[in-house]
C-alpha cells in the first residue's frame, strides 16, 4: 500500500511540475525581443549561400504566393522565389492571402538538391 501511495504522490508531483513548466513555455511564446535580427534577409541571398549554410537564420519579408500541399508553401520577395515549410501551429490564427505581406523568420534547410526555409515564426507585416 505504501508503494502505491508513494507512486501516486510522485506521479502527482511530476504532473504538477510539468504543468508549471508547460505554462512557462506558453507564457514565453507570447513575447520576446523586437528589434534588428542578424539574419539573411533576401531570397537571393539564401539561394546564393554556400553548401554549408544549413541552419543559418533568415528573416524575409514578402508574400506567400501559393500552397504546395501539406505545410509547404511558395514564398516570393523582390529578389526571388523559394519554398518554405510552415507548421500548422506557426500560423497562430492569422489569415494570409497572396496579397498579404508577411515577415517570416526561420532557418535555411539545405538538402543536396533543394533549398527551402523552415519557418519558426510568421507574422503579418505592419
pLDDT tens, position by position, 19-52:
433 333 343 456 776 666 678 999 999 988 887 8
pLDDT tens, position by position, 91-107:
999 999 999 999 999 99
| Domain ranges, ordered by start, for the chain | 1-31, 43-124
Q: What predicted TM-score, i.e. pTM, was given to this entire model? A: 0.70
Compute the average pLDDT of residues 5-16.
45
**Side-chain-side CA neighbours of residue 101 (13 Å):** 7
Cα separation, 62 vs 73, whole angstroms: 13
Cα separation, 90 vs 24, whole angstroms: 18
- Write out the CATH class of domain 43-124: mainly beta
Distance set, CA 30 to CA 22, 33, 34 (Å): 13, 11, 12
Cα separation, 104 vs 64, whole angstroms: 10
Amino acid at each position: 500500500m505504501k508503494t502505491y501511495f508513494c507512486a501516486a504522490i510522485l506521479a502527482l508531483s511530476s504532473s504538477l511540475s510539468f504543468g508549471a513548466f508547460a505554462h512557462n513555455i506558453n507564457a514565453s511564446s507570447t513575447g520576446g525581443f523586437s528589434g534588428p535580427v542578424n539574419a539573411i534577409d533576401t531570397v537571393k541571398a539564401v539561394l546564393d549561400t554556400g553548401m554549408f549554410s544549413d541552419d543559418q537564420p533568415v528573416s524575409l519579408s514578402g508574400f506567400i504566393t501559393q500552397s504546395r500541399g501539406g505545410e509547404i508553401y511558395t514564398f516570393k520577395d523582390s529578389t526571388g522565389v523559394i519554398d518554405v515549410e510552415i507548421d500548422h501551429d506557426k500560423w497562430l490564427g492569422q489569415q494570409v492571402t497572396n496579397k498579404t505581406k508577411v515577415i517570416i523568420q526561420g532557418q535555411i534547410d539545405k538538402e543536396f538538391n533543394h533549398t527551402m526555409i523552415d519557418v519558426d515564426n510568421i507574422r503579418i507585416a505592419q
